[in-house]
Amino acid sequence: MLSTKTLALCSSVVGLTLAATNTTSAWPPYSPTAAPIFQLSADSSIAFYLEEALSLANWGGANSGEVLRIATQIIPQDFESVYKAFYYVAEQTYAFAESVDKTKDPVSAREAYYHAATYYRGADFYLHGNQSDPRLISLWNQQTVAFDKANALLEIPGERFVVQAHSEDIGDYQAIGVFYAAYPGQGPPIPTILVGGGYDSSQEEGYHLQCHQILSRGINCVTYEGPGMPTVRRTQNIGFVTDWWSATLPIVDYLATRPDVDMERLALVGISFGGILAPLAASHDDRFSAVISIDGWYSAQQDFEGLFPDEIVQLFNASEAEVFDEVMTSIVNNASYPSNFRWVIGQGLFAFNTLSPFEWFTRLGKMTVSPEIVANLSMPVFLAKGEDDDETGTQPEIAYEKLTTGRPNGVALTYLHQFNTSLGAGEHCSIGAESQLWAAVMGWLSPIWGDWAYANVRQ
């Protein structure tokens, strides 16, 4: 039963929401061509996720026709319709992969398994507001099985690994990863890039969006997950930790044991929220020769506050934890609120492994590129920004200012690159324009690695 104060605040938020979504108000009606990228849904949050799934078609993770078909079955602000649309196609695609004779046509089977894994992840994406939903486990198991079957059919399969880790926040746990070698066998040491996702992304998705580009240049690619990330959150029931370096330190220890890794040319990439996690990790490990933050934040808490009505921000700042929890919890599963608002809260609770929005938002605020973190970053840092990235706003610019003024030689060591809407790269993480993104990143890395000349090993 919601308190009178909570109901009053909810009514205030509902009023703001209706004003924002009413097509007769000052806000324009849905217009796909008015967005930086053509929207596949009148729901901007779902439209972005569909764009993300569609972008995987560039790198073997989906078929564009399948994603466009899925888009026709989704109802704006209806999270169950997202599940149903993706799950139907996932099941049909997986069944097709199983029917292929893998000894005669491993390519067809591999592609179908990868597509099915993507669609199982899509079915799961908007369900996190209910942490007791059994589909959160079953869907993830299905995506993992499909992905691993595809991986086994690669010319050089990725190697899954597990390392023991310890966090001051939660104690002992296991960080996980997949090592994708650019060349078969245990060859000579070559440059290697460690890739981490963010608030919601999986290392399986990272294979398509990041590793394809990295491997094609003859560079090893390693994906990883720590607490709060999709697989670790589910299998170990642990959320994000403030001492993120606890996940990466043992992974780098593992990489140092491999004869095919050039430890003098080891870079760390963080995608989206991972753009905070990467600097956190590198501030405690000078073995990284460079850090790349792709559309990351200086402070995600600071940015997310822009989604909330002033009344809710005031509640948090006044430490009204009980009322804050009631209001935020009431929003998550109420389809009258904007999808992005609901999803940010629900995903945050899930990823931080808590049922208290106040606890989630408090812990989120502790994960920031603070002056102490900046002062400990001795290596070059690349900051990416999408011109019309409405996820991070001006956060990359804030991070740039902190990194240039808060450490010795900061101007020379920090580079901010804007990706432009006019060329289709202006969305969050330049979704769908990964070739532009990685051309800039790899061009920046080459002189840092002694003018390294990239190979052309995968087309």
Q: What is the DSSP string of 405-432?
A: HSSTTHHHHEEEEEEPGGGT--SGGGTT
C-alpha 85/C-alpha 71 separation (Å) is 8
pLDDT at 27: 42
Q: Taking residues 34-55, what's their average pLDDT?
A: 93
The pLDDT-based confidence of 163 (bands split at 50, 70, 90) is very high
* Tokens of residue 127, six digits: 């369900």
Whether residues 133 and 237 share a domain: the answer is: no
C-alpha 211/C-alpha 219 separation (Å) is 9
Whether 26 has a pLDDT exceeding 50, the answer reads no
pLDDT at 304: 87
C-alpha 347/C-alpha 200 separation (Å) is 7
The pLDDT-based confidence of 19 (bands split at 50, 70, 90) is very low
Helices H, strands E: what count in the chain? 20, 8
pLDDT at 28: 55
Whether residues 203 and 118 share a domain: the answer is: no
Whether residues 102 and 201 share a domain: the answer is: no
* Position 27 in a domain: no
Q: Taking residues 82-109, what's their average pLDDT?
A: 98
Whether 254 has a pLDDT exceeding 70, the answer reads yes
What domain count does the chain have? Answer: 2
* Position 295 in a domain: yes
Examine the fold and report which residue of 102, 121, 154 is the final residue of a domain before the chain moves on: 154
* Position 350 in a domain: no
**Across all residues in the chain, what is the average pLDDT?**
92
Do residues 393 and 385 lie in contact, with contact meaning Cβ atoms separated by under 8 Å?
A: no
Q: Taking residues 437-451, what's their average pLDDT?
A: 98
CB contact set of 237 (below 8 Å; sequence gap of 6+): 353
pLDDT per residue as tens digits for the range 302-331: 888 887 889 999 999 999 999 999 999 999
Element (H, E) at 85: helix 79-99
The pLDDT-based confidence of 23 (bands split at 50, 70, 90) is very low
Whether 74 has a pLDDT exceeding 90, the answer reads yes
* Position 315 in a domain: no
pLDDT at 7: 53
Helices (H), 178-272: 203-206, 212-215, 230-236, 245-256
| % of the chain surpassing 90 pLDDT | 85
Do residues 245 and 226 lie in contact, with contact meaning Cβ atoms separated by under 8 Å?
A: no
- Sign of the torsion angle spanned by Cα atoms 436, 440, 443, 445: negative
Examine the fold and report which residue of 137, 154, 171 is the final residue of a domain before the chain moves on: 154
* Position 292 in a domain: yes
Residue 77's domain comprises 41-154
C-alpha 427/C-alpha 421 separation (Å) is 7
Q: Is 53 helix (H, G, I), strand (E, B) or coil?
A: helix
Whether residues 73 and 173 share a domain: the answer is: no
Whether residues 189 and 136 share a domain: the answer is: no
Whether residues 167 and 135 share a domain: the answer is: no
Whether residues 244 and 373 share a domain: the answer is: yes
* Position 253 in a domain: yes
Do residues 242 and 206 lie in contact, with contact meaning Cβ atoms separated by under 8 Å?
A: no
pLDDT at 4: 54
Whether 1 has a pLDDT exceeding 50, the answer reads no
97: nearest Cα among 108, 82, 85: 108
* Tokens of residue 60, six digits: 């073997």
381: nearest Cα among 288, 291, 316: 291
Whether residues 294 and 394 share a domain: the answer is: yes
Whether 8 has a pLDDT exceeding 90, the answer reads no
Whether 24 has a pLDDT exceeding 80, the answer reads no
Whether residues 53 and 180 share a domain: the answer is: no
The pLDDT-based confidence of 9 (bands split at 50, 70, 90) is low
- The partner residues of 450 in beta bridges, in order of sequence, read none
Q: Taking residues 373-394, what's their average pLDDT?
A: 94
Whether residues 146 and 173 share a domain: the answer is: no
212: nearest Cα among 98, 5, 391, 58: 58
Whether residues 161 and 127 share a domain: the answer is: no
Q: What is the DSSP string of 430-445?
A: GTT-HHHHHHHHHHHH
Residue identified by tokens 């590198």 is 282
Neighbour-count burial of 424, counting CB atoms closer than 10 A to its CB (0-12 exposed, 13-18 middle, 19+ buried): middle
Whether 125 has a pLDDT exceeding 50, the answer reads yes
User: CATH code at 188?
Assistant: 3.40.50.1820
C-alpha 360/C-alpha 349 separation (Å) is 6
User: CATH code at 129?
Assistant: 1.20.1440
* Position 413 in a domain: yes
Examine the fold and report which residue of 135, 154, 173 is the final residue of a domain before the chain moves on: 154
Do residues 136 and 124 lie in contact, with contact meaning Cβ atoms separated by under 8 Å?
A: yes
Whether residues 193 and 80 share a domain: the answer is: no
Whether 415 has a pLDDT exceeding 80, the answer reads yes
Q: Taking residues 289-293, what's their average pLDDT?
A: 98
Q: Taking residues 68-81, what's their average pLDDT?
A: 97
What is the pTM assigned to this prediction?
Answer: 0.93
Do residues 182 and 219 lie in contact, with contact meaning Cβ atoms separated by under 8 Å?
A: yes
pLDDT per residue as tens digits for the range 268-287: 999 999 999 999 999 999 99
Cα-Cα end-to-end distance for the chain: 59
* Position 346 in a domain: no
The pair phi, psi for residue 131, each rounded to 5°, is -70, -15
